[in-house]
Copies of this chain bind each other. A is one copy, B any other.
Amino acid sequence: MAVYTTVDDIALSKFLQYYDLGKVLSFAGIAEGVENSNYLLRTDQANYILTLFEKRVDPTDLPFFIELMETLATAGISCPLPVAAMDGTILRVLEGRPCVIFNFLDGAWSRFPNKAKCWELGTVLATMHLEAAAVTRHRPNTLGPLAWKPLFSLVQGQVESLGVGMEQQIQDKLDAIIQNWPTGLPEGVIHADLFPNNVLFIGDKLTGVIDFYFACVDILAYDLGICLNSWCFEADGTFNLTKSRAMLKAYDQVRPLSEAEFKAIPVLAAGSAMRFFLTRLYDWIHTPTNALVSPKDPMEYWSILRFHQSVSGTAAYGIDL
């Protein structure tokens, strides 16, 4: 929630000589995105976002992310379109950081998206999964199931404060998820971080999908698990079946889900909850107590995880097979 790299007016105007974007009207750092530095650049032609990639993004992954966004934007999905410099290059360097200019997307994110927004999301997510098949580059999911045990080992011995016996419970649930992890389901490029703060709306119309910097190749329906967890639980931790049904039905109308995919939803959603539980737990333990940015509470995802391990079938998600 900050700008990590400062770009001053002289550096900016030197950099923009490589582009044909018009006269700069305003330039301000924006407090969105925890991984990179983002600036809103307004010219007399249009609005743009200038993103400087900070240390947490591996520069060798950038061509994959750029190809993905270009592919989706060109296919008509509302996502940031990388803007090329006059010499045709998209990925450049500014203040020692790799950087890209994107077109600006209107809209604002919704903290508790309603049913209509969940429907929109399902539609767009399925369309993204279909269109992303054209992406030629590959990026493995570095935070997928194979990463969860190593991630857990980094916090072992430090979780007592969460409750007595917690370490054993995490171990047991992790083992259960890994043992039941599905094989043979359709794979492809997934967004992998499609929380409400990465989706923009005007009214109930979806106007933008942003922040593709966790995108990777994995089980497509795993993306639905991530969205169920981040879009369909209410502030009090309860699960909203109406929203879940809307999201899944909308998705299914664009990319029909197989029975195997539907049946795998509880374990995929539990796996997604485990992934965010573990990364939040890691941040929780490793963030200094006086830091400006408070880490997110991992226990929110523990409760979500328990929900998915308690359901008896897909009916719990509003789906009749």
Interface residues of A (CB under 8 A from B): 1-3, 8-10, 12, 23-32, 40, 42, 104-112, 200-202, 288, 290-293
Looking at the complex, which one of B23, B40, B111, B293 makes contact with A9 (CB distance below 8 Å)? Answer: B111
- Residues of chain B within 8 A (CB-CB) of A2 are 1-2, 31, 292-293
| A107 B25 Cβ-Cβ under 8 A | yes
15 residue pairs bridging A and B, Cβ less than 8 Å apart: A1-B29, A3-B31, A8-B110, A8-B112, A10-B110, A24-B108, A26-B106, A26-B107, A28-B30, A28-B108, A29-B31, A30-B30, A31-B31, A291-B291, A291-B292
| A40 B29 Cβ-Cβ under 8 A | no
Looking at the complex, which one of B26, B201, B288, B292 makes contact with A108 (CB distance below 8 Å)? Answer: B26
When C-beta atoms are compared, the residue in chain B nearest to A29 turns out to be B31
- Residues of chain B within 8 A (CB-CB) of A28 are 30-32, 40, 108
Q: How many copies of this chain?
A: 2
- A200 CB to nearest chain B CB (Å): 8
- Residues of chain B within 8 A (CB-CB) of A105 are 26
Contact A30:B25 (CB < 8 A) given known A1-B2, A109-B9, A291-B290: no
Docked complex Cα distance between A200 and B28 (Å)? 11
Docked complex Cα distance between A290 and B104 (Å)? 33
Docked complex Cα distance between A108 and B3 (Å)? 16
- Residues of chain B within 8 A (CB-CB) of A111 are 8-10
